[in-house]
Structure 1
Amino acid sequence: MSRTAKNVFVASRLPKRARISGWVATLAPRTSRPVLSEAISVDVAIIGGGFAGLSAGHRLSRLDPTLRVTILEAGIVGEGPAGANSGFIIDLPHEVSSDDFSGESEGRFRDSVLLQRSAITLATELAAENGWGKDLFDPCGRYSIAMSAKGDKHLHAYSQQLSKMGEPHRLLKRDEIEAVTGSKAFTSGLFSPGTVIIQPAAYISGMADCLKETVRLFEQTPALSFERSGDGWLVKTPKGSVRAAKIIMANNGHVESFGFFRRRLLHVFTYASMTREFDPARLGGQRKWAATPALPMGTTVRRINTAGGDRILVRSRYSYNPGIAISDAAIRSAGRLHDGKFAHRFPDLAGIGMQYRWGGAMALTHNHVPAFGEVECGVFAACGCNGLGASNSTAAGIAAAERVLGHDSELGRVYSRLAAPVSLPPQPLTTIGAKIHLAYREWRAGAE
């Protein structure tokens, strides 16, 4: 039970790290921020130091430079789900299935694009202000790639929809996508220029390290509980406390651990593997590119440049984990799938094994809307990313910061038009249904 009394909210569980990602492992060590070990008072306390929490902190300081803000991160910045992300800040709807896409009205499409481009705007501003290089932040666009006639069909349908919306893009034939990827396995591709590609762990660390002085970040400082205290709230941590006028819950699926959005969030993990470094001469094509699959829940692939050579990232496999934790066995199982997909796509790289494997948590809702808004007086949620964490969580953090300060914007109006998350079926129907649905969607993606 998370709510123990009126206006008292106690965490029923704390975040667990699902193995260090390859992004973190290949970064130089970073000096983390201190643990909170005293009682402090601020204007806004943010629970969670990922995409949503750090974006909220940056937006608050831009809107009111005098505002005192504290961000509480349960672990080390970059080592949680944000640092396990595949690194796409996408500006267009991610699902390229014609069935999914054609059901969206033009207005809904425009809202989605505005939301995701708000995330890119903030990221672009931070990159320019801090001189981030393309190894961290690269506005190079993305490819959607097909491996079958069914995938080709979906890309053509998606292209038609993008043309109707006036969105720039380019279809690529088999030889053109081979010239990009160096692989003969892909049958077609679609390039859209608006996506930004990031090294997610470096990006999150960069966001943390360029916070304004009025925004204090504490790492390894989980929020254990918060309760009403006078006109504000008192957040308790293992070694300290924060008295705040307002709170932003930016902890994605763990918002449910405090009793909010109960039976409205589906906790899903996705998995990734990253190869060892290899000699770039072993694989033709461009040395840096990033591609999402033609069919939803297919395989995402990136080619990454490092000082000692290149690497390939492969991401696929989804699992429903209501305990918001996964085992090493689950990661190994997904890794075996990744090995087969890698071998199929890149036979020229035979013998190049995977060096890193990991999983990352997502929080989904049944009706594909965020868990967003004022959930108690002075408590605001920016959770339920529904995948696309870099885009959706960033936008939610920005919008939550604006709502805290009563700032009006088109982004805020988009969020105000969204429905609330609907309730899930009772157990065990939710677990059975979620597992069947994920298995079906993966089967439908096939070779993609």
Structure 2
Amino acid sequence: MMTSKTFRARRLPAHGVESGWAALLPPRTPTPELDRAITVDVVIIGAGFAGLAAAMQLADLDPRLSVAVIDADVVGNGASGRNSGFIIDLPHDISSGNFGVDAVSKSHNEIVVARTAIQHYARLAEENGWDKDVFDRSGKYSVAMTDAGTEHLATYSSKLNSLGEPHQLLGAEEIEEVTGTRSFKSGLFTPGAVMVQPTALVRAIADLFQEPVRLFERTPALSIETSSSGCTVKTPKGEVRAGRVILATNGHAESFGFGSGELLHVFTYASMTEPFDPSTLAGSRKWGATPAAPMGTTVRRINGADGDRILIRSRYTYNPKIEVGAGSIQSASDLHDRKFADRFPDHRHLKMQYRWAGAMALTWNSVPLFGQVEDRIFAACACNGIGATKATAAGIATAELVVGHRSQLGEIFRSFEKPQALPPQPFTDVGARLNLAYREWRAGRE
């Protein structure tokens, strides 16, 4: 006989100030919050990349399934609407370490995971006529500010060659033609990446739901109760009774007791300039570039009706309480201003109009918190810093697991090890902060 268990949320998400992506869009009218008791086949907690993908996949695999998606906030206000808007199809780190047979196999699996996510969004974009302001298969650049960064890109290029992946190395003049600035020494273009307006993307998906899939915003999960008859998710004004629960809350899985001692909670920060006259900066009006060095600075140029803007993302902090204060944003803001001036010296007079932070959940061995974590409860958590691809794919794979569907993606996720336990305190706190500070220092100008 199954023992009843209750998993209570120790805290609710605190996303902080509005992101620039959300500020550029009209305010969202949220779906009604849950104010009664309902019964469904599956309840999904979290309406970010993972939760939305899981809901869409469940509807595709079994249109008869009744599904409730609940989110503590308005769709797009969470971490999925706070990133830089890159959906990247290639591994970040294939230019480091040995590149033997195991590494090639791992890289191929990472590519399958990423491209499954991209294809998921590409199909939705085509079916629903999304324009390129929401989803753009434009490819992306990696850029180098230093000779060491240029060497890193050259090494990365050689590994891409060994994988048979198309790409193009760019010299200083070629990357200047793209970016409009002479600050970059070199670049590397990969055509498979996608650029999105992340808040607009997740909003667009949420707006697609129709019976028997329902979305309830501003409906936090306060507890999950399991018993032999099913699960009950309690909310402030109602409850959801379901046969199965999908936890798509990334780091907040730990708030319910799942992944305790296994998840590292890290925030990254972004700033977006005020609009400027496009004619004052040469180059393409729309591009995105990741740094040549890990933990470096990501840059995007976006264009709108009121002019163009530059987004700068840099700085990573360890925040075990899964929230950030004004001091952390101010410190990151000072860094962003210096990074922006270094890259666009002729535009250093531009002010940053929006500044925000977004949460990530990492594991010691860089694997997701995935699969059945308790009777009737499944997790699609721990994005490991690549949420748009890995969280989306985790949501798809979890939906497949729930209904018993087999796929290459599912086999990859089932092959992952379990998250490793973190070192005991205070070693985790001290080690995480020192590691992030060292890696940022090592990135230097990049």
Which TM-score band (shorter chain)? over 0.9
1:214 CA displacement? 1.4
Amino acid at match of 1:349: H
Question: In structure 2, what is the equivalent of residue 406 of structure 1?
Answer: 404
Kindly provide the amino acid, as one letter, of the partner of residue 137 in structure 1.
F
Residue of 206, 212, 230 corresponding to 1:208: 206
CA distance in 1, matches of 2:357, 2:29: 24
1-structure distance, mates of 2:61, 2:352: 44
Matching residue of 1:326: 324
* Alpha carbons 1:143, 1:292 under 8 Å: kept: yes
Written as runs of structure 1 = structure 2, the 5 A alignment for 1:388-399 is 388-399=386-397
Q: How many Å apart are 1:428 and its aligned residue?
A: 0.6
> 2:127 matched to 1:155?
no
Matching residue's letter, 2:136: D
Q: Is the 8 A contact 1:61 1:212 kept in 2?
A: no
CA contact (8 A) 1:96 1:155 kept: no
> Aligned partners of 2:4 and 2:214: how far apart in 1?
29
Partner of 1:251: 249
**Structure 1 position 99, deviation (Å):** 3.2
Moved over 6 A (4+): 100-103
After superposition, give the CA deviation of every residue in 1:370-407 in whole Å (9 maximum; x if it has no partner).
11110012211000000111111000000000000000
The Cα RMSD (Å) is 1.2
Report the alpha carbon displacement of residue 351 of structure 1 after superposing the two structures with TM: 1.4
Q: Which residue of 1 aligns with 2:443?
A: 445
Q: How much has 1:212 moved relative to structure 2?
A: 3.3
Q: What is the alpha-carbon distance in structure 2 between the residues aligned to residue 285 and residue 267 of structure 1? A: 37
Report whether the alignment pairs 1:416 with 2:414: yes
- Cα displacement string for residues 392-440 of structure 1 (whole angstroms, at most 9, x for unaligned residues): 1000000000000000000000001111100001111000000000011
TM-score normalised over the length of structure 1: 0.97
Match of 1:20 in 2: 18
- The CA deviation string for residues 153-201 of structure 1, in whole angstroms up to 9 with x for no partner, is 1100010000000011110011000100011110010100001100000
The aligned counterpart of 2:191 is 193
Q: Separation in 1 of the partners of 2:87 and 2:376?
A: 30
Q: By how many angstroms is 1:329 displaced?
A: 1.4
CA 208–100 in structure 1, closer or farther in 2 if over 3 Å, else same? farther
Q: Does 1:89 align with 2:87?
A: yes
| The one of 32, 45, 48 aligned to 1:47 | 45
Letter in structure 2 aligned against 1:287: R
Q: How much does 1:310 deviate?
A: 0.1
Which runs of 5 or more structure 2 residues have no equivalent in the other structure? none
Which of the residues 177, 180, 184 maps onto 1:179? 177
Does the Cα contact within 8 Å between 2:4 and 2:228 map onto a contact in 1? no
Does the Cα contact within 8 Å between 1:97 and 1:296 map onto a contact in 2? no
Q: 1:433 to 1:59 in 2, by over 3 A?
A: same
Do residues 57 (structure 1) and 61 (structure 2) align? no
Q: Distance in 2 between matches of 1:145 and 1:261?
A: 36
Assess, with a 3 A threshold, how the Cα gap between structure 1 residues 275 and 356 changes in structure 2: closer, same or farther: same
Retained in 2: the 8 A contact 1:297–1:317?
yes
Q: CA–CA distance in 1 between the matches of 2:348 and 2:411?
A: 51
What is the CA-CA distance between 1:100 and the residue it aligns to? 7.7
User: What fraction of aligned residue pairs are identical, expressed as a percent?
Assistant: 57
Q: Contact 2:95–2:159 (CA<8 Å) still a contact in 1?
A: no
* Cα separation, 1, equivalents of 2:147 and 2:209: 48
Q: TM-score, normalised by structure 2?
A: 0.98
Structure 1: where are the runs of 5+ without partners?
A: none
Letter of the 1:148 counterpart: T
Three-state SS of the structure 1 residue aligned to 2:412 is helix
Q: Displacement, 1:349?
A: 1.1
Q: 2:354 aligns with which of 353, 356, 381?
A: 356
Q: 1:392 to 1:205 in 2, by over 3 A?
A: same
Maintained 8 Å contact 2:94/2:159: no
* Matched-pair contact (CA < 8 Å) for 2:226–2:375: no
Question: Which one-letter code corresponds to 1:274 in the other structure?
Answer: M
Q: Distance in 1 between matches of 2:118 and 2:105?
A: 20
1:278-317 aligned within 5 A: 278-317=276-315
* In 2, Cα distance between equivalents of 1:363 and 1:420: 15
Map of 1:217 onto structure 2: 215
Q: Name whichever of 95-104 and 278-287 sits farther off.
A: 95-104
Corresponding position of 2:365: 367
Distance 1:338 1:13, change over 3 A: same
> Which of 259, 264, 272 is matched with 1:266 structurally?
264
Q: Is the 8 A contact 2:340 2:348 kept in 1?
A: no
Letter in 2 for 1:80: G
Deviates more, 1:361-370 or 1:227-236: 227-236
| Corresponding position: 1:140 with 2:135 | no
For residue 379 of structure 1, what is the aligned residue in structure 2?
Answer: 377
Give 1:18 shift.
1.9
Change (3 A) 1:262 1:14: same
Q: How many residues align?
A: 444
Per-residue CA deviations over 1:16-47 (Å, capped at 9, x if unaligned) read: 02210000001012221110000000000000
Partner of 1:109: 107
Instruction: Give the counterpart letter for 1:60 in structure 2.
Output: L
Match of 1:164 in 2: 162
